[in-house]
Structure 1
Amino acid sequence: MNIKAKCTCISMAIILVCAVTSQAQAQICEINLNVRLGLSKDGSLQIDMKDAGIINVCSLSVTSQGTPKEACAGWYSALITLKMAKGRAQFYFNQGEPANNGVSQCNQLGNWTTRAPYFLETIQ
């Protein structure tokens, strides 16, 4: 195996380890769309997380907890569509994110807290 092939293999192994480490810190929590999906007058998006309660996830007015308002608007649009279609969704949280305070289980997110999800996914 030549040097270039060895470097490529090592690089791919490092990427794989980083991806696995990243996923190990992810907390995936289901959203209760039928319980609460709301906006406050300042543009804060509140949702009910299964086993946790109501949390503020982002703002339609300003970047909040690292989530740009444009991403928040996209999430809100997707969640309203899912609510009308009786669909289901879940947010991914990185426990290393300061706003998430090392939360490692969905029921630790807390009621009426502000958290920082990084990914929204529809589920069956």
Structure 2
Amino acid sequence: MEANPLFKTYKEINDDMILFNDEYYLSVSLADVSAIDTGTREALFNHLFAFDSSDMELEIDVSEEEEGRWYLQLLVPHVLTLPDAAKRRLEKGKEQLLAHLSQQKGSPELRFLSGEDIFTYVQRYNPDLRRIS
């Protein structure tokens, strides 16, 4: 039987961090941008895009912007990184991100997803997502 090339794996490391497809450790936060005007959103996006960290990568998902939501994906490459090191790097990266956001006027509060909320989010883009233990 041939493997489905669209098949992706999902392994929960802890309640707010997963290993996605043996490629990235991932944590996801939700930013409510519904009360932010267009000009401020643009400035916020550019500010987030300029974020730089040696601990993690940041991806900005604006696919639900019409509903007033942005998702921020915090990523640590899996290659040569053990789960405990990835957790430390994500924690440091979160602190750096929150400090970076505090410099931007009108920045929204972030709510970090956990448990089934992360799975539901990742599954939106990966319908053939499979949990592994």
TM-score w.r.t. length of structure 2: 0.31
Larger gyration radius, structure 1 or structure 2: 1
TM-score w.r.t. length of structure 1: 0.32
The higher-RCO structure (CA 8 Å, 6+ apart) is 2
